[in-house]
Amino acid sequence: MTERTADNPDAGHSEAEGLIALGVRGVLVQMAERSQLIGLRCEMPQCYCPKGRAYFDLRSNPMTDWAPNPDHYPVPKWAGGQLQPDNVRLAHVLCNRTEYGWRTSIKSMLAKGMSLDQTADTLNRRKVRRPHGQVTWTAEGVRKVFVS
């Protein structure tokens, strides 16, 4: 993406127009207009879209797995994170939902006093989807997901 400058005042508008065409409103469009997005691509650490990070479906009701969605990051919504430019990244619905599911499950298990190994064993037993590259859940993988 080209940075918006006095010499190039329209930079960033193509991303905003792309989001609007996909049915997106609000903070993500504002961020694109301000050149605060690198591009129209899923910014989640793990993207599961078979068509790639840059592919998005139109937003609909109900939302499809590959529709664009704001992810509260670095402070999750459940921890008080707000939909504002310093706490949002662009994500696919499924990628966002998957990471949210991991974090809430792991948070619950750790709150019950389970070790990282016990948490990993539970996630494996429940056949919870794993991050790319992980054959099974491990203590290290659990910790990495929870603190990322």
**What digits encode the pLDDT tens for the residues 84-112?**
999 999 999 999 998 888 888 999 999 99
Residue 111: both structure tokens together: 């709150």
Nearest to 132 by CA among 145, 115, 123, 119: 145
Q: Is the peptide bond between 131 and the residue preceding it cis, with omega within 30 degrees of 0?
A: no
Is the pLDDT reported for residue 3 higher than 60? no
**Domain spans of the chain, in order of start:** 41-147
**Residue 128 gets which letter from DSSP?**
-
pLDDT digits (tens, 9 = 90+) for 111-125: 999 999 999 999 999
The yes-or-no verdict on residue 36 having pLDDT over 70 is yes
Whether 43 has a pLDDT exceeding 60, the answer reads yes
- Determine what percent of the chain is predicted with pLDDT higher than 70: 91
- Compute CA distances 112 → 30, 118, 123, 147, whole Å: 40, 11, 15, 18
Lowest mean pLDDT among 23-37, 40-54, 126-140: 126-140
Q: How many CA atoms lie within 13 A of 75 on its CB side?
A: 9
From the list 96, 97, 109, the residue with the least C-alpha distance to 142 is: 109
Residue 129's pLDDT is 85
Q: How many CB atoms lie within 10 A of CB 20?
A: 14
Count the helices and strands in the chain (H runs, E runs).
5, 2
